[in-house]
Structure 1
Amino acid sequence: MNTVKLGKTGLEVTEIGLGGIPLTRMGTDKAVSLIRHCVNEGITFFDTAYMYGISQDMMGEGLSPVREKVILATKSIKRDAAECEREFNESLAKLKTDYVDLFQFHNVSKDGEMEEILAPGGAYEFALKAKEQGKIRHIGFSSHHPDHAIACCETGKFETVQFPFNFLEAEPGLRVFAAAEKQDMGLIGMKPLGGGLLNRADLCFRFLQGHPKVLPIPGIQDQEEIDEILGLYRNRRPLDQNDEKDIQAFKDSLGTRFCHRCGYCMPCTVGIDIPRVMLFKTTGSNFPFEQVKPLYAEPMAQVDECIECGECLGKCPYDLPIPEMLKECQALYNKALAANK
């Protein structure tokens, strides 16, 4: 496997990393086994976050025997120094380590957040202190909003940027990464599979192989998935005309408004499983209705409980009209239900 240099961090990592969110949907034993399989296959970059809950514990258990051989990254959503320090110390304990190679400010995507982090008494102040103490080796940030991400890059204070990057979201990612490269920052591409929307790993990773400075960190739920991805890197080829047609078909199907399954809209005040409902637009067209119906009957019924309180609107980093989209997905489900009676 080739390596990627993460800009001015100087870190050399394998061209594929492992994202930590899906680990939370697995049992601990299976997650630890998957992490160690990734290590055995040569993967050296592992990403998690305090917000990912048990993911940090799983990473700690899986990586502690090989800690010095891997690059470990975590994140904090806290914006002030004291709270960030508290959360970071808990992260170290969960990760079974006394330092992290990369610490990132999590989801800097709203007005005023960057300023809050960089202000006196802000989280950046803590991160610098921890870096001086050797507890943090490098400092970066993640974001879901291109304009806010570019503004963070232009401060020159961060060493890496983590941003969604796949063939559906190429243009915003390319703008962010161009700004980051001017500051010699490391480029980390999250959601290479579109948050689970894209079921063609071959298309996703052949697209990414055309951007070798970007480190993709797919979230994986079983060994077969990572083995398939690694196979695409060991037997690589560029996208051909048929691939480009298939990519365009995905774009035509999903349009510009789609749920990225980041989960930041949750929990819903009335208990609607927002990401599950939103996913029907994809699964409903890719699988026989009778196969997916049991997965959606209850979530779709919950949509009727929406009171349009707007809480999810304020939390969505992509500014999606969530209540409107929930009703659209419910209408698609009801249409399929009527057609299959």
Structure 2
Amino acid sequence: MDQDNTSRGDDSIMKLDRRQVLKGMGLLGSALAAGNVTEMTRVFAGMEKGEGGKATGGLPHRPLGRTGVQVPILVLGGGHLIKQSDEEGTKIVHEAIEAGLTFFDNAWDYYNNRSEEVMGKALQGKRQRVFLMTKMCTHGRGKDIGLLHLEQSLRRLRTDYLDLWQIHEVGCQDDPDLIFRPGGAAEALLQAKQQGKVRFIGFTGHKDPAVHLNILKHDFPFDTCQLPLNVFDASYQSFERLVLPELTRRGIAPLGMKSLCGKGEPIKQGVVTVEEAIRYVLSLPIVSLVSGIDSREVLRQNLAIARRFVPMTEQEMEALRRRVAGAAADGRFENYKTDRLWSCDRPEVEQRFGPLERM
């Protein structure tokens, strides 16, 4: 059964009054209909200041869609957590919690499962202070593999429930059919939620906006959707232009990722600054931004940016899009949309992750 935040989770991740959420979603819908991105972000900013929504450590919070929960606008990404060492990963987790960054991301396969193990160990005695997310890595396989991943993730994270569980890396054209077939991964989400092992459910992907839209056409009761958003995406196979408005219309909480394009190449090449990149995405109508943090220095940098965040105006956003348009049009900084690492050739997928027949 679903657990509310009064019994599970720290006081810093607060419940919202239902009327406040519905009012905010109504205003958000009006802004969406008018095509006003800045107004949509302003609505989110207003909801940050609602009853119970005061930030911890000066970090703003936003409502997680229609769930009645508020979360920080930054998420600590598990994909980079132990890039330097397990010890550094533990120190990042502890410092993040004390600083008010209490939304934690992970996935079953990160660092061959070690990211979950390190995070789980670091969260001992602190679990109730965080909003904890991880993901099943079924890649077209079915319900039983998903539920197996859940049990393994819970054990590694040393918890008996997740706040959010998502299907990881949805991006192949046949993924919607495989996810929603009888015995597919969607059934794992529903069963886990019914059993009280997860509070909220969603899906992620960063390859093709059309696949996200085809997933959404199934009208499944997703609470969240994680998608790549950055100033370069606006000009190439754009999730911002195609998927984000549909999520907002449906009341599904958008979680941004890849604000620095995955490996930070546009930062290294001086095309944009870290603050411009992060501020642009936080100025979109999203709930939170999953941020790849591999050191305490990066943690402190990103926390400082989030604490002083002021939404860009639509004019500022358009000026930044125009400024990077030449470097954005061919997708050079978004190779996760085209790289063969994310091949959708089923024999290759099965070679990497196992046969689809494994249910």
Does the 8 Å contact 1:203/1:243 carry over to 2? no
Name the amino acid aligned to 1:69: R
Bigger Cα displacement from structure 2, 182-191 vs 221-230: 221-230
Q: Which runs of 5+ in 1 are unaligned?
A: 266-310, 317-341
- 1:176-204, Cα deviation, whole Å (9 max, x unpaired): 12111222111100111111223221101
- d(CA) in 2 for partners of 1:68, 1:81: 28
Match for 2:173 among 103, 108, 111? 111
- Which residue of the partner structure matches residue 252 of structure 1? 326
Structure 1, 53-62 or 208-217: larger mean CA deviation: 208-217
The answer for the alignment partner of 1:96 in structure 2 is 158
Alignment of 1:130-141 (within 5 A): 130-141=192-203
* Alignment equivalent of 2:275, drawn from 202, 216, 223: 202
Q: Does 1:127 align with 2:189?
A: yes
Q: Is the 8 A contact 1:154 1:179 kept in 2?
A: no
1:11 and 2:85 correspond:
no
Q: 1:225 aligns with which of 283, 298, 301?
A: 298
What stretches of structure 2 of length at least 5 have no aligned partner?
1-58, 268-272, 346-359
Deviation by residue 1:227-258 (Cα, 9 ceiling, x = unmatched) = 12221232234558899766645442354222
In the other structure, the counterpart of 1:283 is none
The alignment status of 1:149 with 2:212, answered yes or no, reads yes
Q: Is the 8 A contact 2:160 2:197 kept in 1?
A: yes
Do the aligned partners of 1:203 and 1:239 also contact (CA within 8 Å) in 2?
A: no
Name the CA distance, whole Å, in 1 between partners of 2:105 and 2:70. Answer: 15
Q: Is the 8 A contact 2:282 2:289 kept in 1?
A: no
Could you say if the C-alpha distance between residues 238 and 160 of structure 1 is closer, same or farther in structure 2, counting changes exceeding 3 Å?
closer
Deviation of the 1:17 alpha carbon: 1.0
Match of 1:236 among 299, 309, 326: 309
Provide closer, same or farther for how the CA distance between residues 312 and 222 of structure 1 changes in structure 2, counting only shifts above 3 A: closer
Which residue identity does 1:202 align to in structure 2? E
Distance 2:124 2:86 in 1: 15
Higher helix proportion: 1
CA distance in 1, matches of 2:241, 2:281: 12
Query: Please, what is the CA RMSD of the aligned residues?
Result: 2.5
3-state DSSP of counterpart to 2:254: strand
Q: 1:291 matched to which residue of 2?
A: none
Query: Which residue does the alignment assign to 2:254?
Result: 187
1:46–1:121 CA distance, 2 compared to 1 (3 A): same
Task: Please name the residue that 2:118 is paired with.
Answer: 58
1:6 deviation in Å?
1.5
- Percent of aligned pairs sharing the same letter: 29
Change in CA separation of 1:159 and 1:313 when aligned onto 2, cut-off 3 Å: closer
The amino acid of 1:122's aligned partner reads G
Give 3-state SS (helix, strand or coil) of 2:133's partner. strand
Deviation, 1:109, is 0.9
Asked if 1:175 corresponds to 2:262, the answer is no
**Structure 2 letter corresponding to 1:91:** S
Larger RCO: 1 or 2 (CA < 8 Å, sep 6+): 2
Tell me the TM-score normalised to structure 2 length: 0.69
Q: Partners of 2:288 and 2:316 in 1: how far apart?
A: 25
Q: Which amino acid aligns with 2:194?
A: E
Count of aligned pairs: 271
Local SS of the residue matching 1:188: strand
What TM-score, normalized by structure 1, do the two folds share?
A: 0.73
Return the letter of the residue paired with 1:226: L
Alpha-carbon contact 2:226-2:254 (below 8 Å) kept: yes
Q: 1:50 to 1:173 in 2, by over 3 A?
A: same
